[in-house]
């Protein structure tokens, strides 16, 4: 079961690096991603915006698979800084899971 973590939501909102509020959930980013992984990046950002930290943490290997190629970003009509958002999530995971 997915649980909302309010402190995760608070950290995301306070962060200058993560910003997907303009996302319209259109799915273009996932359609052009060369990895063709269902989670990346549209669904992942949905999880984050809903505060579902456990869903983010359980998908750590996928988050590290992203190539940061920005193919998604170049095609996003809402100008979401997708690669920067992924970097933020990696840094969050590092702090949370590996105490980096
Ligand atoms: S292309 Fe942009 S607006 Fe569309 S789902 Fe992806 S991040 Fe959101
Ligand atoms: S930056 Fe990551 S999510 Fe975006 S297209 Fe490249 S591999 Fe896919």
Residue 1 lies inside a defined structural domain of this protein? no
The Å distance, Cα 56 to ligand 1 centre, comes to 18
Confirm whether 94 is domain-assigned.
yes
82 DSSP assignment: H
**Domain span at residue 32?**
12-98
Q: Over the chain, what is the mean pLDDT?
A: 95
Is residue 8 scored above 80 in pLDDT?
yes
Residue bearing the CA closest to ligand 1, atom 4: 26
Question: How far are the Cα atoms of 38, 39, 57 from residue 34, in angstroms, in the given order?
Answer: 11, 13, 22
Per-residue pLDDT at 2: 80
Q: Residues near 9 by Cβ (< 8 Å), separated by ≥ 6?
A: 51
Considering the domain boundaries, does residue 21 fall inside one? yes
The pLDDT of 34-44, averaged and rounded, is 97
Where are any strands of DSSP class E within 1-100? none
Decide if 18 contacts 12 (C-beta within 8 A).
yes
What's the rounded mean pLDDT across residues 35-42?
97
Cβ of 24 closer than 6 Å to ligand 1, yes or no, is yes
Say yes or no: CB of residue 67 within 6 Å of ligand 1: no
- Residue 44 placed within a domain: yes
pTM of the model: 0.94
33 belongs to a structural domain: yes
CA–centroid distance, 64 to ligand 2, in Å, is 11
- 55 within a domain of the structure (yes/no): yes
Structure tokens at 70: 């920005």
Provide the number of structural domains found in the chain. Answer: 1
């Amino acid at each position: 079961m997915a649980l909302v973590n309010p402190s995760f939501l608070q950290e995301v909102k306070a962060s200058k690096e993560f910003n997907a509020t303009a996302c319209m959930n259109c799915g273009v980013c996932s359609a052009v991603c060369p990895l063709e992984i269902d989670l990346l990046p549209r669904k992942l950002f949905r999880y984050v915006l809903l505060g579902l930290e456990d869903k983010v943490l359980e998908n750590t290997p996928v988050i590290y698979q992203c190539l940061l190629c920005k193919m998604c970003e170049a095609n996003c009509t809402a100008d979401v800084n997708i690669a920067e958002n992924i970097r933020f999530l990696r840094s969050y995971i590092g702090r949370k899971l590996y105490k980096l």
